[in-house]
Amino acid sequence: MRFNSYAAKVLVKRVLLIIGGGIAAYKCLDLIRRLRERDLAVRVVLTKAAQEFVTPLSVSALTNDRVFTDLFDLDDEREIGHIRLSREADLIVVAPATADLLARMANGIANDLATAVILAADKPVLAAPAMNPRMWLNPATQRNVARLAGDGIHFIGPNEGEMAERGEAGPGRMAEVPELVSAIEKLLSSKLSAGRLPLSGRHVLVTSGPTHEPIDPVRYIANRSSGKQGHAIAAAAAKLGARVTLIAGPVALADPVGVTVHHIETAEEMLEAVKEALPADIAILAAAVADWRIDAPAAGKIKKGAKASPPSLALTENPDILKTIAARNAHRPALVIGFAAETESVVEQATAKRRAKGADWIVANDVSPAAGVFGGDRNTVHLITGGGAETWPQMTKAEVAERLVMRAAEHLAKTQISV
Ligand code: CTP
């Protein structure tokens, strides 16, 4: 998979740091800062013993994320779970790796969250041992380390030097933070963690195209949406490794490669298909859903001369799919993105629409006839988030799609290790 330079720049790697119970645990606070400075996402598991040295509060202030401590915290097991904690990292770092942690790791023991996460790991694990020199040199520890190295665990340190205990010196000091950072960077850039794309493991749900609302079996009301933008978004998300479900209205476009497509016609069918496709990590609702449908479509073709005057069409409002999805408690996607097609005061109207619909982001575009957006290949958009509005330069719909899904991937990686 080739990344354009924008994609490469924002690719976020995720480190799961397991802090063990040793005096060197304090170094991990600095380690977290250094990793975050390098734009790495850091999530932390603290062992029970580690909490004697650093508090969950101080760690969480640095990671800007919750800290995980307990295997039997039912909420966590339901929402996150040790398997997911483990799966959703690119690298697991154990620091300080105490003699006790190494012994449990070497024997496949999983009697707390830290060891359960390590045992479930399918990613590289880096251990930074730290302990008293006699404990390190003890044949039992050496046996455990040799076994773990044989199992493919990576080690950094320990270094030689003065110990926290007065008068004790020898091998057992945890590697210094700069050494840890460079070992982590090396492992993250190595082949071991390659192959992971920014949206690997994510489910992205996209709506695209217009909807057709029947008047009778042969006539319908519709709009000028071509579906090009929505389809390009589905294709871009698939290229970034996501499992993509596209709910497409009637369009003259081929189904994007590697995407599961459900073809629907009406707004009500689109809403049903969207609900069925949940849960998803990201929902990008780009369809130009018809705001109204015919109250009572005729079962047979309405004949021209049947009445003295032309038939009048009574309309009913369609469900608002974006608003419905954004308001859900169960299975609300972590990131709900809507579009706003406006012909005047684009940013103002879209900002109001973001609030009114409960969307996280709104992609606003100018659809006045002069802008040539409907059916065209280029788009000038404004991204409206909780932080304000940013205007993107004019680009093709494919470029808008790539940039949008990369932004979404980056946002998810920063705000949560996963869904
Ligand atoms: N949308 C939706 N369901 C609807 C209408 C709109 O999910 N019944 C979504 C669109 O997919 C888009 C966003 O809402 O992501 C905004 O669509 P837009 O047509 O600009 O807004 P409307 O709600 O129709 O408001 P108005 O036409 O009054 O500007």
SS (H, E, C) the chain: CCCCHHHHHHCCCEEEEEECCCHHHHHHHHHHHHHHHCCCEEEEEECCHHHHCCCHHHHHHHHCCCCECCCCCHHHHHHCHHHHHHHCCCEEEEEEECHHHHHHHHCCCCCCHHHHHHHCCCCCEEEEECCCHHHHHCHHHHHHHHHHHHCCCEECCCEEEECCCCCCEEEEECCCHHHHHHHHHHHHHCHHHCCCCCCCCCEEEEEECECCEECCCCCEECCCCCCHHHHHHHHHHHHCCCEEEEEECCCCCCCCCCCEEEECCCHHHHHHHHHHHCCCCEEEECCECCCEEECCCCCCCCCHHHCCCCCCCCEEECCCHHHHHHCCCCCCCCEEEEEEEECCCHHHHHHHHHHHHCCCEEEEEECCHHHCCCCCCEECEEEEECCEEEECCCEEHHHHHHHHHHHHHHHHHHHCCCC
Give the pLDDT score at 7: 37
Query: Is 203-415 in CATH node 3.40.50.10300?
Result: yes
Q: Where in the chain is the domain with CATH 3.40.50.1950?
A: 13-193
Give the pLDDT score at 306: 72
Both tokens assigned to 262 = 């459900």
Q: Where in the chain is the domain with CATH 3.40.50.10300?
A: 203-415
Distance 39 CA to ligand 1 centre (A): 35
- Which residue in the block uniquely carries the two structure tokens 């969950």? 56
Give the pLDDT score at 5: 32
Full pLDDT tens readout for the chain, 419 residues: 222 333 333 457 899 999 999 999 999 999 999 999 988 999 999 999 999 999 999 999 999 888 999 877 646 555 567 788 888 899 999 999 999 999 999 999 999 999 999 999 988 999 999 999 999 999 999 999 988 887 888 999 899 887 777 777 889 999 999 999 999 998 887 744 445 688 988 999 999 999 999 999 999 999 989 999 999 999 999 888 899 999 999 999 999 888 899 999 999 999 999 999 999 999 999 999 999 999 999 999 999 877 778 888 999 999 999 999 999 988 899 999 999 989 899 999 999 999 999 999 999 988 877 766 666 777 889 999 999 999 998 899 999 999 999 999 999 987 764 43
Ligand 1 proximity of 287 Cβ (cutoff 6 Å): yes
State how far the alpha carbon of 218 is from the alpha carbons of 211, 252, 301, 398, 412, in Å.
Answer: 15, 18, 7, 34, 44
- Catalytic-residue membership of 138: no
Distance 341 CA to ligand 1 centre (A): 8
Record: fold of 13-193: Rossmann fold (3.40.50)
pTM of the model: 0.60
Q: Which of 291, 344, 348, 355 to mutate to test the pocket of ligand 1 (most atoms within 8 A of CB)?
A: 291
Ligand 1 proximity of 320 Cβ (cutoff 6 Å): yes
Nearest ligand 1 atom, CA 339: 15
Phi and psi at 160, nearest 5°, equal -85, 150
Ligand 1 proximity of 340 Cβ (cutoff 6 Å): yes
Nearest ligand 1 atom, CA 290: 8
Give the pLDDT score at 370: 73
